[in-house]
Amino acid sequence: MELLYGPIKAYAWGSRCAIAELQGRPVPSEGPEAELWLGAHPGAPAAVKRAGERVALTEVLAADPAGWLGKGVLDRFGARLPFLLKVLAAAAPLSLQAHPDAEQARAGYAADDARGDGHRNYVDPFHKPELLVALGPMEALCGFRDPAISAEVLAGLGVPELKPVLDALDAGVAGLPEAVRLLLTWPSAQRAGLVAAVRTAAVAGPDTDLVELLAEAYPADPGVVVALLLNRVRLAPGEAIWMPAGNLHAYLRGTGVEVMAASDNVLRGGLTPKPVDVAELLRVLRFEVLDQPVVAPRPVGEGVVTWPVPVPDFALHRVRVNDRRPEVTLAVPGPWVVLCTSGQVNAADLVDTVTLDAGGAAVGAAAGRALTLSGVGEVYVASPGPC
């Protein structure tokens, strides 16, 4: 095991407290800190120390892919770490977004290359399913709710301009694509008026605070209305949301540990100043009702829980060690990325041991063969999924 040093993304929606508090730094931080990246994604690779100097994990893996990744990962994913672990800290809403499946990502990346005009929807040829586990209370939008419920909410606003959207929703799930298309292609000159009308009408309604939160940040973005078609999720610590390909979602506020396939493909659907490719988003979205977006932790051993996901790219485990249970050997294959979220925990493989305080991280190669955690505290361990 080796200590791992992750870069922090300073997106405008980031918290000035959460990641700094986790790492024991002064609060508030100088600027927003949105995401701590702990992996080998080329967009922001973490680093290890070599002879006192920090070396990007991408370089370390490239020098010995077989030793670091192991035959199973090499055979399934090639010479790259297939997952990325993050700490996400949202003080303001993120954009509505979705991610492609593997086939869509490969085709989209190739099409962007062939077009050659500099515009890209796809920055790599990989899919990006995600799992987020709340570290504290967290709110998000995740997946479409029953269109009948959405229609009732929109009808209750009494905004005449929304009639075409209501007509589309009358068709149930089959009408969701048209409802989303209508909203995202709303005439630019009329968008501010639509959001203002919805904001005024929502006073004292069931979604008042959501509309207010989103409209305050994006007063001329029809994504404010698209949000009312989605499940609003409130997570308690330890609860998770699973976001497969095509799932329209947005984080609203809170802090969580997020693990995903190692990709940065994002198709935006509103609540953003960035361009929205409506046609490509509609092609990627899965228009289906997500009845239960919340995933509860599943115990798999004393002090160990996981959140099963149906993809091979990653698995995530939370391990708690204490005076009564001072050591746990985690029976999952490497490579591993370990993040300590409280206390002080030793992470050991058959090569070396490192000590992690809260906010600290480590990485271990598949050649390390076994991962043992000891001390008093809590860690999250990301690894490849089962074969």
Q: Contact 252/230 with Cβ under 8 angstroms?
A: no
3-class secondary structure, 300: strand
Residue 127 to residue 109: CA distance in whole angstroms? 11
Q: Residue written as tokens 């997570």?
A: 235
The phi, psi pair for 32, rounded to 5°, reads: -65, 140
Contacts of 263 (CB under 8 A, 6+ apart): 41, 99, 105, 124, 126, 127, 128
**Inter-residue contact 55 to 48 (CB < 8 Å):** yes
d(CA 208, CA 185): 24
Using CA atoms, how far residue 317 sits from 14, 85, 208, 306, 311, in Å, is: 25, 12, 36, 5, 15
Which entry of 80, 268, 318, 320 is annotated as an active-site residue?
A: 268
Q: How far apart are CA 141 and CA 48, in angstroms?
A: 35
Q: In the annotation, is 369 catalytic?
A: no
Alpha-carbon distance of 297 to 312, in angstroms, equals 18
Question: How many residues are listed for the chain in this entry?
Answer: 387
Structure-token pair, residue 8: 């922090």
Q: Please return the burial class of 377, using the count of CB atoms within 10 Å of its CB with bins 0-12, 13-18 and 19+.
A: buried
Q: Which of 33, 44, 144 is nearest to 92 (CA)?
A: 33
The token duo for 357 is 């305080």
Contact 216, 271 (CB under 8 A): no
Active site residues: 268
